[in-house]
Structure 1
Amino acid sequence: MRPTPEDPDAWNAYLAEGNAKQARKRVAADVLLRDTAGRVLLVNPTYKPGWDLPGGMAEDNEPPEETVPRELREELGLHIVPCGLLVVDWVAPHGPWDDQIAFIFDGGTIDAPAELHPHDDELSEARFVPVETALTLVGVRMRRRLECAVRALHDGRPVYLHDGALLW
């Protein structure tokens, strides 16, 4: 017999069993952060080829909008609060990786620091570059997201991608 909410211990055990069988998604959260000249911040990770938007993988039970400030604080010493959502991309399994949900948040505009140095060994450098340059430096997956993030910023509404393809 299936437990009911009237027996909270049995009910929670039943729900936990179902939860354990459900798929878990990896979650990435990046930020489109601009300087007053309109350039975007890129970072050069040491653990993979090419440049990327700043951000990273969410920790256990961490909301994506909290991932961005944590990552920027840890990696660059920047204190940024996202001010909107620009892109959500469902990324299909690829290579050794399961599927993933990737977010890009709007980080707003800041006065670019005179020097920006990585604070840990995950990044070799960080710099503000024109959007056109950024699109040539990032990988294929990020390029489409970045293009859509810029578009979403201009249009004033977030964009949903299915493995990099615009659905709506």
Structure 2
Amino acid sequence: MPDNSMADDRPLYERDPDAWQAYLAEGNAKQARKRVGADVLIRNEQGEVLLVNPRYKPDWDLPGGMAEANEPPHQAAERELREELGIHLQVGRLLVVDWVAPHGPWDDSLMFIFDGGTLVGDEMTALRLADDELLAYTFSPLDATETLLRPYVWQRLTYAFDGAATGRCRYLLNGVQATP
């Protein structure tokens, strides 16, 4: 009978670091990967919402975009604001996380909306079309955004607007409040 009194009870990552790294690499190669988008809720002093009109989409959208490989969502949002609108803004609290089911040729994704606060003074004058991805930008009253945005983006925006006012972060499934 083997003597188990000398058994090494340490976790695998301590007993055999190379085996642990191989285990992680195998999981990384086989597990699903998600696309991540990060948008920003930005308002002006009148409480209107900043919208952008992308060249590559049929409708208006919130400012932001897709995260690059290994880029945190909040940094993706800040980078997109710099690249597309020329503003250097540190985003605030997370307002919404929306899991979007596969649709058309796209796999599922996670969409984040961060609070960008209210632009005033120099921040407003710094706002400009900084690259050719956008045709225009505008500030719109919340109730008028419903006709400009795709329905699920508008739904996400309403939850984000509420989250900015109440301090609550919302978890959505396809734009609808989830009840985990």
Q: Which amino acid aligns with 1:167?
A: A
Total equivalences in the alignment: 166
User: Retained in 2: the 8 A contact 1:85–1:158?
Assistant: yes
1:128 partnered with 2:132: no
Q: Displacement of 1:53 after TM fit?
A: 0.3
The correspondence for 1:57, drawn from 40, 56, 66, is: 66
| Cα distance per residue 1:35-93 (max 9 Å; x no partner) | 11111100000111100000000010111011111000011101111111111100000
Q: CA RMSD in A?
A: 1.6
Q: Which runs of 5+ in 1 are unaligned?
A: none
Q: In structure 2, what is the equivalent of residue 140 of structure 1?
A: 151
- Normalising by structure 2, what TM-score? 0.87
CA distance in 1, matches of 2:141, 2:158: 13
Q: Which runs of 5+ in 2 are unaligned?
A: 1-11
Q: In structure 2, what is the equivalent of residue 30 of structure 1?
A: 39
User: Retained in 1: the 8 A contact 2:59–2:149?
Assistant: yes
Q: Which amino acid aligns with 2:36?
A: V
- Normalising by structure 1, what TM-score? 0.93
Bigger Cα Rg: 2
Q: Which amino acid aligns with 1:90?
A: W
User: Retained in 2: the 8 A contact 1:91–1:163?
Assistant: yes
CA distance in 2, matches of 1:118, 1:160: 31
Structure 2 counterpart SS, 1:23 = coil
Q: Which amino acid aligns with 2:151?
A: V
Q: In structure 1, what is the equivalent of residue 110 of structure 2?
A: 101
CA distance in 1, matches of 2:60, 2:22: 45
The correspondence for 1:155, drawn from 141, 166, 172, is: 166
Q: Displacement of 1:7 after TM fit?
A: 2.4
